[in-house]
Chain A
Amino acid sequence: MTYEELLTQTALENEKVIVMTAENRALIRNLPNLLGKRFIDTGITEQTLIGAAAGLALRGRTPVVHALASFLTMRAFEFFRTDAGIANLPVKLSGFIPGFLSDANGPTHQAIEDISLMRGIPNVTVFAPADEDDLVKMLPTIWNSAQPAYTRINTRQTNFVHQPFEMGKAEVVSIGTDVTILTYGLLFEQALVAVDILKKEGLSTGLINMRSLKPVDEQAILETAALSDLVVTLEDHFVTGGLYSIVAEVLLKHAKTARVMPMALKDKWFKPALLPQVLQHEGFTGKQIAENILGYKTSYTQSQISLPEFSE
């Protein structure tokens, strides 16, 4: 099932759902005709979009709100914080091209502080699915919740079949005593490659797809820290405020410590290019991730990385 198919089915079944966009229709092209008045395009007005979504939610609707992740979370930050956050209204943000998925757009479009910003707002929940299968397994729970939510939309295809989603629960793919990679979003795809290499190199390797960053699965983090000699946080986000920070907060809260290696964007925007080259340039291909953890080069071949499927 695709994102658009799920949204169509959900909106047709539930009169409360309103589909909104600030002229970003890449994933919802068929919805205007199907939903009529329940499809609302406010034009390139992210702030008005979110304010209006709050107004609709005040009337008992569940608006699913689409725009590019950077503009949704930053241009309209205060509207989301003040109108959806303070009022705790079920406004559901669908952020397109978050993180590395903005590939060649440039730093204006790079939402790599979105997790940090969104999780800082009381009442707001934050999600980052690994691929489209994960996305469609997570969204029904996210949309059914009464709280405001931000979801990093990721419609990439992998061969991985995900487990059912539970709010606040991570997906434990495997457990390792030498190293465990905690990740979210499109880097899950590369983490699978990295785990394969690490295992071939003889390391007991674990992989956890975080999925829900707020509420976060504290238990999964604590168990990983207790079991694994090295914890790697892997994310297409600034090192500040994302998963590395979340892990640090959880460990401190429970008076635990661990060897944690952050793989994130360290106080810089990434080099704009097509996605496969971005990953290569920034050191985030599966092979590079594995080599970074191992501390030496290997002769494995990096599988081809597909281009993102849609633009604005």
Chain B
Amino acid sequence: MTVSSLDYKTLEERSLRVREHVIGLSTNGGCFIGASLSAVDLIVYLYSEFLNINQSNLADPNRDYLFLSKGHDVPALYGTFVELGLLEKTRLQNHLSTEDHIYWHPNTNIPGVEFHSGSLGHLPSVAIGVAMDLKICGSSNKVVCILGDGELNEGTCWEAILVASAHKLDNLIFVVDRNFFQANARTEELIPLEPLADKFLAFGAAVKRVDGHSFTELHQAFSAYPFESGKPNVVIADTVRGKGLPSIQERADRWFCNFSADEVEQLLLELHGQHQTTLTSETLIVR
């Protein structure tokens, strides 16, 4: 397999900037920080290297599509949009304000967001509709749908995989942000998903499993698209919830967080490896 070389420095810089944006959104009302940080590298990779989506083709029917089905990781998407020049950085300051449309779940008032989400298990089917139309039109464009692993509790995800397989949608790629947590608990302690790759295989998909924080592994997997002719593609990206912040990584009670301004300052230092933050703010406010 020939894999083109990657500009690791740019990707890593970009991911760091996006993580800073995510941390910046975790105050004054807060955000779903853990699930956002697990998805940062995936989203940065996809927009930087894989998808044909940019400022000039957002309304062009001949573009690629990304659907963010897990939804609550939207800070990672908006952070990426800022770094790609799709969204003005100053607008992040409007987070949770009626003056703008930047709230806890994605919506199409933000250029680049293909569809609203928040109710889990919806966008696999919406992505199927778009993938079907691309097939009907004879287009070679592709559709990515990012799912949470907790989201896979929803039956409609599995219904969608069955339908995507039946309709041979090899232009559709489901990417699972496999951070092993759902809202309040570890996935394997609540609704175990493993062996996850086997499940997708049994449903007729072509599956790859990678380290979702390794640009090398992500690039190897996505460079092999389409994985198998006539089969929907699944990438299980093993990730760490809260990736980049040891003080919140691997902790079930760091799902939705609303930190003080001081804690945000400390978390930014922690992100740069200079500090271990002691967090005292109330967390896991279930919204």
Contacts and interface: CB of A to CB of B under 8 A. Distances in A.
Interface in B159-177: 159-160, 162-163, 166-167
Given A48-B163, A58-B115, A87-B115, A79 B130 contact: no
A195 interface: no
Interface string B131-143: 1111111000000
B126 interface: yes
A60 interface: yes
Interface in B72-120: 108, 114-116, 119
A170 interface: no
Contacts of A83: 115, 122, 125-126
Interface residues of A, number: 29
A48 B125 contact: yes
B24 interface: no
Given A43-B166, A60-B61, A51 B133 contact: no
Interface residues of B, number: 29
A221 interface: no
A56 B132 contact: yes
A87 B116 contact: yes
A59 interface: yes
A52 B167 CA distance: 12
Interface in A15-54: 18, 37-38, 40, 42-43, 45, 47-54
A61 interface: yes
Contact of A58 (B122, B129, B137): B129
Given A45-B159, A47-B159, A56 B119 contact: no
Nearest to A60: B61
Contacts of B134: 59
A55 B126 CA distance: 4
Interface of B: 61, 108, 114-116, 119, 122-137, 156, 159-160, 162-163, 166-167
14 contacts: A43-B163, A43-B166, A45-B162, A48-B160, A51-B122, A51-B124, A51-B160, A54-B125, A54-B126, A55-B125, A55-B128, A58-B115, A58-B129, A63-B129
